[in-house]
Amino acid sequence: MATFLSVSMMLPQAAASQGWCKVERDAELMVIRLPENTVLQFTNQRPSTDEALLCIPAAYTSPEGTIMGAYIIDGQLHNRYNRHSKVSLSGNTFSLSQEFTTGNGFQQMCLVRHHQAVAFHDPARRIRRALCKENEHAEAIIVESRKPLTMNEFAQLLARRMETAVYTDMGSFGYGWYRSESGLHRLSTLWFYNRKKQTNWLVARRSVQ
């Protein structure tokens, strides 16, 4: 039986910024770093733009409008496991394993494990986004490609920089946002019209000390 940890549990990490998301860009990737006092949460309730530091789609949504794969909220497991990785959230980081190890998480495709890219057979080129860690004990970061890539290209690009990476749903559900010192920044505004069809989100909030 797994021991569930509170989503408010914090791990000591170096601060990315003083209370706001910090964004770094180069020719290939946009990296969103979360502040030290952050808690990640998987939820089926979309937050408002004034209560979250970051909000992006997480697990896949089925054509019938349900969350695909198993997920766990407040220690309650929903749906059956599928072949994708179990992403367990704790404080401002996450882990991958054969079963959920905290009371909050979701299933999604693993792109990089131990700096090794996973192979895919998907020739489509799209803007891609992932939940990543630069090393085993690092805080989570969000990484988005600056141009359309295949899944193979995205995984290989991430493997050069990241120890672990899992995909987060894009497609028709790419809309999200983050807050930096300069204010609210919307992600994938092209899909703004489809945001109400999304079933689940990965949300970053300030922790309550």
Least confident of 1-10, 24-33, 46-55, 151-160: 1-10
Output the pTM of the full model: 0.88
Give, in order, the Cα–Cα distances in Å from 62 to each of 11, 25, 41, 65, 179.
34, 32, 21, 5, 29
Per-residue b/e over 21-36, b at no fewer than 16 CB within 10 Å? bbbeeeebbbbbbbbb
Q: What is the dihedral of CA 88, 17, 55, 85, to 10 degrees?
A: -20
Domain boundaries along the sequence of the chain: 22-206
Give yes or no for a contact between 4 and 103, defined as CB atoms under 8 angstroms apart. yes
Give yes or no for a contact between 111 and 117, defined as CB atoms under 8 angstroms apart. yes
CA 57, 194, 28, 125 torsion-angle sign: positive
Cα distance from N-terminal residue to C-terminal residue, the chain: 29
Q: What is the pLDDT of residues 91-117, one digit of tens each?
A: 999 999 999 999 999 999 999 999 999
Q: What is the pLDDT of residues 128-152, one digit of tens each?
A: 999 999 999 899 999 999 999 999 9
Q: Cα(55)–Cα(186) distance, rounded to whole angstroms?
A: 10
Q: What is the pLDDT of residues 46-91, one digit of tens each?
A: 898 888 999 999 999 998 989 999 999 999 999 999 999 999 999 9
